[in-house]
Structure 1
Amino acid sequence: MTEAKYRGGCLCGDVKIAIDVEPQLHALCHCTDCQQESGSANMPDVVFPPGSVKVVKGSTTLFDDEKPSGNHVRHYFCGRCGSSLWTSVDALGKVEAVKLGTFSGPDGTGTEFFKPTGELFVKSKQKWLPAVEGAQQWQGMPS
């Protein structure tokens, strides 16, 4: 078996994931949902094509958030420690946005590869945060 290009997991180690493709985008999402979920000013996400994330240990818990538009944002997290692992976003073709911190930890790939290439929902961005130089800026969801 070949080593996955990207590996990660939750804080307690019950869930491990592997991804064998390159990401489509390194994003900072500033939407209010991501601010609430992360408890921070934004959520750094590594965006992969649909179906890329493979759970190789344990199982995830799902929170399916239906938006007023009818689109769903599916949040996958560890049922034991609560670590947010990734979201699947209908409005973006069901891409899988893996939370950057998922790649941290003793069994993870690490986060050194991450350099934001896009910022989403800059209309909700904290005013004290500067724009990331060279990153594409979207007022809301990219089209």
Structure 2
Amino acid sequence: MAKGSCLCGDVKFEYQGEPAAKAACHCLPCRKTSGTTNSYNLMIPTDKYKILSGSLRTFTRKGDSGKDVTYNYCQNCPTVLFVQVEAMPGINIVKMGTLDDEDAYEGLGKPGMEIYTKNRPSWCDPIPGAKQKESS
């Protein structure tokens, strides 16, 4: 069981099992929420993810598909813990950087896919062996 939390430590979570997928995303919203060139995302089935403490706030926007994308973040600090995408029901897109367990973090390895590579900076090399997709 991997555990994680937000920056201030108010929200704590855990998930069971292995991620259904691991992807680096270079879309503009992921760049903005991560403050860097991409976000590293773990696709965790909703029934395997549990909030242990703290309260969340949400922000919803329309994705490229026209469907809702909802960001779940701590009510006290700006940490986005996971995202829910209407186009991917039953999946929490968990931000890898929120994991506290260094062994789990290391054990995840590199993502198997990079998406929105059309937004990847030219100086940022593709992840070796990862599938490359220009959009979602």
TM-score by length of 1: 0.86
Q: 1:74 to 1:52 in 2, by over 3 A?
A: farther
Write the distance in 1 (CA, Å) between the matches of 2:21 and 2:51: 21
CA distance in 1, matches of 2:86, 2:68: 5
Residue 132 of structure 2 corresponds to residue 140 of structure 1: no
SS in 2 for 1:34: helix
**1:52 CA displacement:** 2.9
Shift of 1:94: 4.6
Residues 68 and 97 from structure 1, CA distance in 2 versus in 1: closer, same or farther, beyond 3 angstroms? closer
Which residue of the partner structure matches residue 106 of structure 2?
Answer: 112
Partner of 1:30: 26
Structure 2 spans left out of the alignment, 5+ residues: none
Corresponding residue number in structure 1 for 2:84? 88
Partner of 2:17: 21
Question: 1:101 matched to which residue of 2?
Answer: 97
| 1:72–1:113 CA distance, 2 compared to 1 (3 A) | same
Look up the match of 1:78. Answer: 74
Q: Provide the residue aligned with 2:53 in structure 1.
A: 57
- Whole-angstrom CA distance in 2 between matches of 1:42 and 1:84: 14
Quote how far apart the aligned CAs of 1:135 are.
0.6
What's the TM-score once normalised by structure 2's chain length? 0.90
Match of 1:6 among 2, 7, 12: 2
CA distance in 2, matches of 1:51, 1:137: 28
Which structure shows the higher helix fraction?
2
Q: Look up the equivalent residue of 1:72 and give its one-letter code.
A: D
How many angstroms apart in 1 are the aligned matches of 2:7 and 2:125?
30
Q: Name the Cα RMSD after superposition.
A: 1.5
Please say which of residues 91-100 and 34-43 is displaced more in the overlay: 91-100
Question: Sequence identity, in percent?
Answer: 33
Distance 2:63 2:19 in 1: 25
Report the Cα distance in structure 1 between the residues aligned to 2:86 and 2:79, rounded to whole angstroms.
22
Alpha-carbon distance in 1 for matches of 2:52, 2:106: 23
Q: Distance in 1 between matches of 2:90 and 2:67?
A: 10
- Which aligned runs of 4 or more in structure 1 are off by greater than 6 angstroms? none
- Count of residues paired in the alignment: 133
